[in-house]
A and B are shown apart, each in its own frame.
Chain A
Amino acid sequence: MTEKTVFSRPESVIDRATHYCPGCQHGVIHRLVGEVLDEMKLTEKTILASSIGCSVFLYNYLNVDAVEAPHGRAPAVATGVKRARPDNFVFAYQGDGDLASIGLAEIVHAANRGERLSIVFVNNTVYGMTGGQMAPTTLAGQKTTTCTAGRCPSSQGAPLRMAEMLAPLEGVVYCARTAVDTVKHLTQAKKAIRKAFEVQAKGQGFGFVELLATCPTNWRMTPTKANERIAEEMIPVFPLGVYKDESQTREAC
């Protein structure tokens, strides 16, 4: 009997073990990005603006050119890359501390200018690499190392909803929030990543996809329980859906 491969590593993804904690979903999202790069034949023309945090090492796992940006500045670095090399495909991969806190100005203005960029935003409601501190996306009542009694919205702010914030901006052509907790959501997530990449590839403008993901280590949960938390606690606060899709109507410019 001959073997038939039905599921293999995308060519964009390098064959090496990742450094992520057990149950972390960065690896899953890396794979989705790799599959889309393969399918769209973008690997050899891609330049990645890497961010800070656990995902800084994405450049070790993808077979693409990459530059390292300071904390929060990936959308500005990516802007510089795209302006210098408009024919390349440029994307940034950012966590919630990076994108929604220290880099809030950079993401809002890159989106508002309608930079021809794609942003993959991984929201796990906590600062991962620095040891589990409060993020702008931390849920009300969620305990972290800097809100040990649970986040109190009246003094520490409510969770920041990035997809909802960015979608109304004129420069944004596609904006969606998905999750990576179930097979159904994974399919939606890949479709959203592809769409965000397509609006750049077609020269239409800015594409944004937010993915709800786990951080079992800093949530102090088993991977299974952490995965369940996405549906139980995160999706009610961060509703899934396509917040904007003008890919059918927007002219390339």
Chain B
Amino acid sequence: MAERIFIKGNEAISRGALAAGCRCYFGYPITPQNDIPEFLSTAMCEAGGEFVQAESEVAAANMLLGAAACGVRAMTSSSSPGVSLKQEAISYLAGSQLPAVIVNMNRGGPGLGDIGPSQGDYFQSVKGGGHGDYRTLVLAPATCQEAYDLTIDAFDLAFKYRNPVMILGDAILGQMKEPITPREDRAPDPDEASDWRLDGAQGREKRLLKSLHLEEGALAGHNRALAAKYESMVSEIRYEEFETGDADLVICAYGSIGRIAKSAVRALRAEGHKVGLFRPITLYPFPTAVLSNLAEQGKRFLTIEHNLGQMVEDVRLSVLPKSDSAFYGVMPGELPTPDQFLEPIRNHLGQGA
């Protein structure tokens, strides 16, 4: 068995990227994800890769676009205001069908907000974020081990679908330290993407990677193909179910809040309450069918998020009209404990038929 190491969530993501064969990182400092560029500034170079501290988040995301066009495993990371600046390039990555990994360690907003944890970027992450009609695959880890494993998977998914993949964490996950079991690092595959990447048109036709489609009908066809791709991503849906089998009330929560809610559910189970947890791990595609099935079984739902209510809209779309979801929101700047969730959950448990 591999040796366990005790590291921060941000470092787990960095090590996951290296283990996945990522060899280009482009970033710009912003709290609370600075451990990622700080770690990779040496580790990426030691792995024979490239690290660039760009002049801005805008430039970093566009460097990512350039490396992605070369079929190289590449990543950028940032936090909320920085991710807003990266959205232009993310839209181009999606439009040009290029694989890349973007990490967002969500902080409080809107605007400059604060540097503490939040889930205020759910809409931006799963509904597109940049201009145009596109989706990014979004993975939401809740533990340092999951942050490590999902980062590796993010690169594989990015190349499988030729699409940007986002890791959506927050300041809790990034700054928390716990033991993880790392895997053996994978060497980059020299033939990866060899059928579409740019590497000079030696002995073949030239290649063009672009998102501009001016010919009549061309963009329509392109967007239909993108839609089919996004629909096919439902096969990647992941989630955690905890004590939902006989539960009357299912708590829906993701990421760090999902983990805190799990402790609350555990405490209430010890008191004999029929409560369970549903934690989506893929936020796009959203596990709609699974939630719908739970609603068919007559369960009620309470969505808990670190925002004013964003994922709750997707939960309601999944469970209506059989059921509905209540909402309990933690505001940015507040760091919830499991105890904080006991009362709101008890209130909703009491509302059962």
A interface residues with partner B (beta carbon < 8 Å) = 43-47, 49-50, 56, 59, 62-70, 73, 76-85, 88-89, 105-106, 108-109, 113
Structural contact, B200 and A105, CB atoms closer than 8 A? no
* Cα distance, A43 to B200, chains bound together (Å): 8
Known: A59-B210, A68-B212. A80 touches B200 (CB 8 A): no
> Which of A47, A84, A106, A109 contacts B50 (CB under 8 A)?
A84
Known: A63-B206, A70-B62. A84 touches B72 (CB 8 A): yes
Structural contact, B55 and A106, CB atoms closer than 8 A? yes
For chains A and B in complex, what number of residue pairs have CB atoms within 8 angstroms? 140
* Cα distance, A50 to B209, chains bound together (Å): 10
* Cα distance, A79 to B76, chains bound together (Å): 14
Structural contact, A76 and B50, CB atoms closer than 8 A? no
Q: Which residues of B contact A73 (CB under 8 A)?
A: 58-59, 62, 65, 88-89
- Among B54, B58, B59, residue most surrounded by chain A Cβ atoms (within 10 Å): B59
Nearest chain-B residue to A71 (Cβ)? B88
Nearest chain-A residue to B55 (Cβ)? A109
Nearest chain-B residue to A65 (Cβ)? B198
Q: Which residues of A contact B72 (CB under 8 A)?
A: 84-85
Nearest chain-A residue to B202 (Cβ)? A44
Interface assignment of B26: CB less than 8 Å from any CB of chain A: yes
* Cα distance, A192 to B69, chains bound together (Å): 29
Interface positions, chain B 22-66, Cβ under 8 Å from A, are: 23-24, 26, 50, 52, 54-56, 58-60, 62-66
Q: B10 CB to closest chain A CB, in angstroms?
A: 22
> Which of B24, B66, B67, B200 contacts A46 (CB under 8 A)?
B200
A-B contact pairs, 27 of them (CB 8 A): A45-B200, A46-B200, A59-B208, A63-B206, A64-B201, A65-B200, A67-B65, A67-B66, A67-B210, A69-B65, A69-B92, A73-B62, A76-B63, A77-B63, A77-B66, A80-B68, A80-B70, A81-B198, A83-B52, A83-B66, A84-B23, A85-B198, A88-B199, A89-B200, A105-B55, A106-B59, A109-B55
Structural contact, A84 and B74, CB atoms closer than 8 A? yes
Q: Which residues of A contact B63 (CB under 8 A)?
A: 76-77, 79-80, 83
Q: B106 CB to closest chain A CB, in angstroms?
A: 24
Q: Which residues of A contact B64 (CB under 8 A)?
A: 80
Nearest chain-A residue to B70 (Cβ)? A84
Q: B112 CB to closest chain A CB, in angstroms?
A: 20
> Which of B62, B67, B209, B210 contacts A84 (CB under 8 A)?
B67
Interface assignment of B244: CB less than 8 Å from any CB of chain A: no
Interface assignment of B96: CB less than 8 Å from any CB of chain A: yes
Q: A184 CB to closest chain B CB, in angstroms?
A: 33
> Which of A65, A83, A89 contacts B67 (CB under 8 A)?
A83
> Which of B24, B88, B209 contacts A80 (CB under 8 A)?
B24
Structural contact, A80 and B74, CB atoms closer than 8 A? yes
* Cα distance, A81 to B198, chains bound together (Å): 9
Structural contact, B206 and A50, CB atoms closer than 8 A? no
Q: Which residues of B contact A44 (CB under 8 A)?
A: 200-203
- Among A46, A65, A78, A88, residue most surrounded by chain B Cβ atoms (within 10 Å): A65
Nearest chain-A residue to B72 (Cβ)? A84
Given A47-B200, A67-B209, A69-B66: 15 more A-B contacts, CB < 8 Å: A44-B200, A44-B203, A56-B212, A59-B210, A65-B199, A65-B201, A73-B88, A77-B66, A80-B63, A80-B69, A83-B50, A84-B24, A85-B199, A105-B55, A106-B59
* Cα distance, A85 to B55, chains bound together (Å): 21
* Cα distance, A109 to B201, chains bound together (Å): 29
B74-115 vs A, Cβ < 8 Å mask (1 yes, 0 no): 100000000000001100100010000000000000000000
Q: Which residues of A contact B58 (CB under 8 A)?
A: 73, 76, 105-106
Sorted nearest first, the 3 A-B pairs with minimum C-beta distance are A80-B66, A80-B63, A76-B62
Q: A133 CB to closest chain B CB, in angstroms?
A: 20
* Cα distance, A45 to B89, chains bound together (Å): 25
Known: A67-B209, A67-B210. A43 touches B201 (CB 8 A): yes
- Among B55, B66, B206, residue most surrounded by chain A Cβ atoms (within 10 Å): B66
Structural contact, B206 and A64, CB atoms closer than 8 A? yes
Interface assignment of B211: CB less than 8 Å from any CB of chain A: yes
Q: Which residues of B contact A49 (CB under 8 A)?
A: 66
Known: A47-B200, A65-B198. A83 touches B208 (CB 8 A): no
* Cα distance, A124 to B119, chains bound together (Å): 47
Interface assignment of B207: CB less than 8 Å from any CB of chain A: yes
* Cα distance, A113 to B211, chains bound together (Å): 28
Nearest chain-B residue to A106 (Cβ)? B59
- Among B54, B67, B70, residue most surrounded by chain A Cβ atoms (within 10 Å): B70
Known: A56-B212, A66-B208, A70-B92. A84 touches B59 (CB 8 A): no
Q: Which residues of B contact A56 (CB under 8 A)?
A: 212
* Cα distance, A88 to B67, chains bound together (Å): 12
Q: Which residues of A contact B208 (CB under 8 A)?
A: 59, 65-68
Nearest chain-A residue to B76 (Cβ)? A80
